Amino acid sequence: MSSAVTTSAPEGKRVAIVQSNYIPWKGYFDLVAAVDEFILLDDVQYTKRDWRNRNLIKTAQGAQWLTIPVTNKGRQMQRIDETEISEPWAEQHWARIRHSYGKAPFFGAYESPLAGLYEAAAGLKHLSDINRLFLEGLCKLLNIGTPLVRSRDYASSGNKTEKLLTLCQSAAASCYLSGPSARDYLDEAAFADAGIAVAWMDYGGYPAYPQLYGEFDHYVSVIDLLFNTGPEARRHMKFQMAHDDARS
């Protein structure tokens, strides 16, 4: 089986730095589980039609978006942590989830905690706070104990590589674990000069699991994995696969 990380890293503190997403896919949580501290990069520009405020669930009509409505007219340069909710949404999202997954094998096991998250989210004003609420709640259900911190709680400067590097320095990291898409812009030499190793997450090789509604889809929200596999959810994620390989 594939390891969760493609390159080895030295001993010490490992961090990942990613924008907060709404009920993200299983790979996001594998990245969280693979580090000692996960930094939510929400003091950067909000991007429309992205994963910040929406994600996919499986339905009888195929994969469909759940989108949190946000205020962005005239606010093209607003940061993620400045982005506000524009209208009520949580009750509708939970109703659609209940309708789509009510017959999933483990829906009953997770119905109460998920409903509680949606009830709490309905009272929040900022997207960043909603995302963090769900990320922490889903990590708890997946038994992932990595602390989530906000990027604005650390000193940082610059854009892209410089911002990531200065965040790593402020967090006293010895290794930065990055998603593969950053290969297009990340300056690994700058990290090396600062004495910080760079490792890359590998999202290939996920096993399929029993899933409702036809053709299998890896890229839906992690709630699909929870509702369909229950306590075995971790067995279908990289951090548990790597752990099992190390023990065998």
Domain extents in the chain: 14-247
Grouping H, G, I as helix, E, B as strand and the rest as coil, residue 193 is helix
pLDDT of residue 243: 54
Separation of first and last alpha carbons in the chain: 12
Please list, in sequence order, all residues whose beta carbon lies within 8 angstroms of the beta carbon of residue 218, skipping any fewer than 6 positions away: 25, 26, 206, 208
pLDDT of residue 242: 61
The pTM (predicted TM-score) of the whole model is: 0.93
**Strands 14-18 vs 175-178: parallel, antiparallel or unpaired:** parallel
What is the edge-to-edge ordering of all strands in the sheet holding 197-200? 148-150, 37-40, 14-18, 175-178, 197-200
Buried b (16+ CB within 10 A) or exposed e, 148-187: bbebeebebeeeebebbbbbbbebebbbbbbbeebeeebe
Amino acid making up residue 76: Q
Give DSSP secondary structure letters for 10-78. -SS-EEEEE---SS-BHHHHHHHHTSSEEEE--SSB--SSSSSSEEEEEETTEEEEEE--B--TT-TT-
pLDDT of residue 11: 64
| pLDDT per residue as tens, the chain (248 positions) | 234 555 444 568 999 999 999 999 999 999 999 999 999 999 999 999 999 999 999 999 999 999 999 998 888 899 999 999 999 999 999 999 999 999 999 999 999 999 999 999 999 999 999 999 999 999 999 999 999 999 999 999 998 999 999 999 999 999 999 999 999 899 999 999 999 999 999 999 999 999 999 999 999 999 999 999 999 999 999 877 665 554 44
Structure tokens at 190: 């700058």
Cα separation, 25 vs 23, in Å, equals 7
